[in-house]
Amino acid sequence: MRFTERSNATIEGCSIIDSEMWSVYCDGPTFGGSSPKFYNSTLDSVPSAGEIYVNDDSHPWLLNTTFKKDMTQFGDMVSNITVNWYMHVKVVDTDEIGVGGATVWINDTYGNELYNPTTDGQGWSRWNVVTEYIEQDSDGDFTGEKTYYTPHNVSALESGRFGFSLATMSKSRVVVVMLNGISFEIMLKKGWNMISIPVNRTSTLLEDVLSAIDGNYIAVQWFNTSDPIDPWKHYHVNKVSLGMNDLSSVDRRKGIWILMKSDDIFPVVGAIPDPSTTDIELKKGWNFVGYPSITVRIAGNDTNEAFESIADDVDLVQYYNASATSDHWEDWDPGSWSADDLGEIKPGYGLWIHVKGDCTWFVEW
């Protein structure tokens, strides 16, 4: 579809498919470029073609519109592409009940205040338009460089109770802010990911804990060291109706494997554990556990903040980094000074911990 000569057309609720050329072509060789607006649409071209081409001072603006973000091309250095999404904010208390009348602040990644709404009676502030990035060719090589305005800082206040969330906006989504609680994000990759949920949830049922990514996960696994006969516990979405799943809950002490259909952002929301120290019973051998803390801690031979309470018992810790491009496994071996590549333990990590004997790992929040 071509937009030319200062066209400011509005396209809403459409699928634009082109099997030969660009899905969207913006130019204006005589009177100047075009600036069409796309709402709630889909752009799709064949892999050999491009998705969006801009030239002659064109400025297409997209809201809640999907396209291949790596298939754009520029004919000049003044045109740009702006990509926006809807942010729906829900403010809840520690029982996960919506809080009405809460004051919300939505800032971009540079601290610029975008909105300052008040939640409705159910705790919602909906349809806030936020920018993911603006793309422009800054060096004349016909390819764009993206300036990101996300992650966004979202905070809320009601009757002295405060909550905060850091939200990466790469699609339209709900951002939950828990008053007197914690909100953060875990980046999940297509395939297997090793994670944990470090906060307290009102419900620990697996379907409730993972509700924010419902439809995009296929299976979940946990290794229960206390069941030596059948340690692997499974949940598969296709086996629910068959009654074949034996993993029904997830809490902050468990590490889990989760199989994803595609990359996603998993927003984790919950209450701060009380008491603030979590004890995890470890059995001799391998244990698959969570990291119940919001604090990044060092795992090293000179400084061992993460495993200080089991320093005499632990002999190997492993983490699977799904975002790594080659070697996904990161290790910390207290007996090695050269092979360690697991230098920090971060919120949301699931961990394999091997210990020489039964012991208890104490983790401060």
pLDDT digits over 9-29, tens only?
999 999 988 766 788 989 888
- Which one, of 266, 267, 256, 115, lies nearest residue 182 by Cα? 267
Strands 344-345 vs 297-298: parallel, antiparallel or unpaired: antiparallel
Q: Which of 14-28, 85-99, 193-207 shows the lowest per-residue confidence on average (mean pLDDT)?
A: 14-28
Distance CA 265, CA 186 (A): 6
At 247 the pLDDT is 93
At 237 the three-state DSSP class reads: helix
Quickly state the pLDDT bin for 340 (edges 50, 70, 90): low
- Which one, of 62, 66, 68, lies nearest residue 82 by Cα? 62
Q: What is the pTM of this model?
A: 0.81
- Which one, of 103, 274, 249, lies nearest residue 182 by Cα? 274
Quickly state the pLDDT bin for 161 (edges 50, 70, 90): very high
**Is the predicted pLDDT of residue 361 greater than 80, yes or no?**
yes
Express the helix, strand and coil content of the chain in percent, nearest 5 each. Answer: 5, 50, 50
Could you give the residue ranges of the DSSP H alpha helices within the chain? 206-209
Q: Which two tokens stand for residue 133?
A: 């990035």
Query: What burial class does residue 269 get, using C-beta atoms within 10 Å of its C-beta: 0-12 exposed, 13-18 middle, 19+ buried?
Result: buried
Residues with Cβ < 8 Å from 69, sequence gap 6 or more?
Answer: 51, 83
What letter represents residue 310's amino acid? I
Domains of the chain: 2-76 (no CATH), 85-135+148-179 (2.60.40.1120), 185-364 (no CATH)
Q: Can you give the length of the chain in residues? A: 365
**Is the predicted pLDDT of residue 54 greater than 90, yes or no?**
yes
